[in-house]
Amino acid sequence: MRIRNNLYNFVFILVGILWVSCPSNYSFADNFDQLRKNATNIKTIKARFVQKKSMKILIRPLISEGLFYYAAPDSFRWEYLKPLRSVVIAYKGDTKRYIASGGKMIEDKTGGVQAMKIVLNEIASWMSGKFDQNPSFTATLKEGAYTEITLTPVEKNMVGMIEKIIISLSKKEKAVKSVKIIESANAFTQIDFSDVQINKIISDKTFQDVE
Amino acid sequence: MKRISPLILITIFLASCQSLPVINAPAPPADGKISACPSPFLKERYRLIHAIETRMAGDTRGAIIGVTLADPATRLISCAIMTAEGMVLFEAGEDAGLLKVNRALPPFDSADFAQNMINDIKLIFFAPAGKIEQKGNLLGGVAVCRWREENGGWIDVLSNQPKGIEIKRYSSCGSLKRHVKFEKTDENIYQNIELHANELYSYSLFMKLIEAQPAKEELLINKAKEKKK
């Protein structure tokens, strides 16, 4: 159950980060209140991502690629296309994770549904753009060549899992540039986003049908 | 009842023991050359990344990414398990027989898990540490070499053509504990590996290679460190 909690925390944090970062497509956010206001304009998001996992055992990062879809208020699809295909979809309060097996996508039934409900409550605050009000993290915003938001876990139960999260927003393109999740001195996950599309029509099937 | 219980235990123990498959002496080769034992094992230090599907009782339970750094010369192993999302669930290593667990999230935090995993990795990638006891053919003609382990167990390495090479680990009393299958391929021998474990909670791993590369650069780094010392 704990591993399920940790996994869903991890996925939802990734999803939440992208969501709260995308308002920069509308107007440059110079404070958290502005980010929250901009968040109300977002109806859908679609983006590609490249994830680079670095850790001591890997001499070069392990690269994964995938797609992210979001539709307000609470539907999303976080899909890894390679090297290991997996999909997390959330639709109308129901969240499921699927993995590839024998050429088919099958539901990952490890763990319990209860864990997902707990995490959904957690993610609700991210989805509404209130990422500086989440008691689990302290958030700071720094202006420079890029806008940088740093999230630091407050609770000790995240020690070893997440040390801090750094979100970089591009001023020029007005889109999320990258997210870096630092787990420890030797391990971090860098996610670079591209082709970010805001408020384009996304079919409901995207959040219901895993294939 | 107290007198019956040990009898039941002994009966179960004896029932779980089986005789090892009989190895017949090989037929003299036509060309006069003695055939070598099948060797699916690493020849040099390597880093391998696999997508691993886990199954218990025939049901798929999950999919993870496994990273293995293994040196057959020193029998040093480092390994990690992570999710597709990049979350590291388990990280451990064994050097000179000493196991060190750096990270273990539930359910990978049990006392036996780390050692069993290291043992499974050694079974797949390293030549058995014991000595060859027998060499020949099984009933049906499959070529096999049998090693005796220090703990009394047995390891058979079979050239089960045309399917591919297989490894079977037996307990000291002959019950099959592990069965590893390397799918025959023109690509890397570690492209598709199956491991079936017969335990109280039996499991199977289906491993598909993502990446394999010699890890020579780390040897150089380690040598440089040794020189500094």
**Domain ranges, residue A70:** 2-201
Alpha carbons B143 and B135: distance in angstroms, whole number: 8
pLDDT in tens, A59-96: 899 999 999 888 888 788 889 999 988 888 888 878 88
Interface pTM (ipTM) of the complex?
0.78
Judged by CB atoms closer than 8 Å, whether chains meet at A6 and B105 is answered as: yes
Whether residue A210 is contained in a domain is answered as: no
* Nearest by Cα to B102 from B70, B69, B78, B76: B78
| Residue A152 CA to its chain's centroid (Å) | 15
pLDDT at B196: 97
- The pLDDT value recorded for residue B210 is 95
Gap from A102 CA to chain B (nearest CA, Å): 10
Per-residue H/E/C for chain A: CHHHHHHHHHHHHHHHHHHHHHHHHCCCCCCHHHHHHHHCCCCEEEEEEEEEEECCCCCCCEEEEEEEEEECCCEEEEEEEECCCEEEEEECCEEEEEEEECCEEEECCCCCHHHHHHHHHHHHHHHCCCCCCCCCEEEEEECCCEEEEEEEECCHHHCCCCCEEEEEEECCCCEEEEEEEEEECCEEEEEEEEEEEECCCCCHHHHCCCC
Which pLDDT belongs to residue A117?
Answer: 44
Q: How many domains does chain A have?
A: 1
pLDDT in tens, A120-141: 444 444 444 555 666 777 888 8
Residue A209 lies in a domain: no
Residue A39 falls inside a structural domain: yes
State the Cα torsion A88-A48-A6-A180 to the nearest 10°.
-170
Distance of CA A196 to CAs A202, B86, B212, Å? 13, 22, 33
Chain A (51-110) residues lying within 8 Å, Cβ to Cβ, of chain B: 51, 53, 55, 57-59, 62, 64, 78, 80, 83-86, 99-101, 106, 108-110
Task: Give pLDDT, residue A204.
Answer: 92
Whether A57 is in a domain gets the answer yes
Which pLDDT belongs to residue B4? 55
The verdict on residue A208 lying in a domain is: no
Task: Provide the whole-model pTM.
Answer: 0.82
Please report the pLDDT score of residue A124 as a whole number. 44
Beta carbons of A8 and A122 less than 8 angstroms apart: no
Domain ranges within chain B, ordered by starting residue: 40-130+181-228
Residues 33-72 of B with CB under 8 A from A: 47, 49, 51, 53, 60-65, 67, 69
CA separation, residue A159 to residues A6, A15, A167, B81 (Å): 12, 20, 19, 18
Give a yes or no: residue A191 inside a domain: yes
Low-confidence ranges of chain B (pLDDT < 50): none
Determine, for residues A57 and B91 on separate chains, whether the beta-carbon distance falls below 8 Å: yes
- Is residue A183 a part of any domain in this protein? yes
SS3 B220: helix
Residue A207 belongs to a domain: no
Assign residue A153 the CATH number of its domain: 2.50.20.10
Residue B3, classed as helix, strand or coil, is coil
Q: Which chain A residues in 143-162 lie under 8 Å from chain B, judged by CB atoms? A: 160-161
Which of helix, strand or coil describes residue B114?
Answer: helix
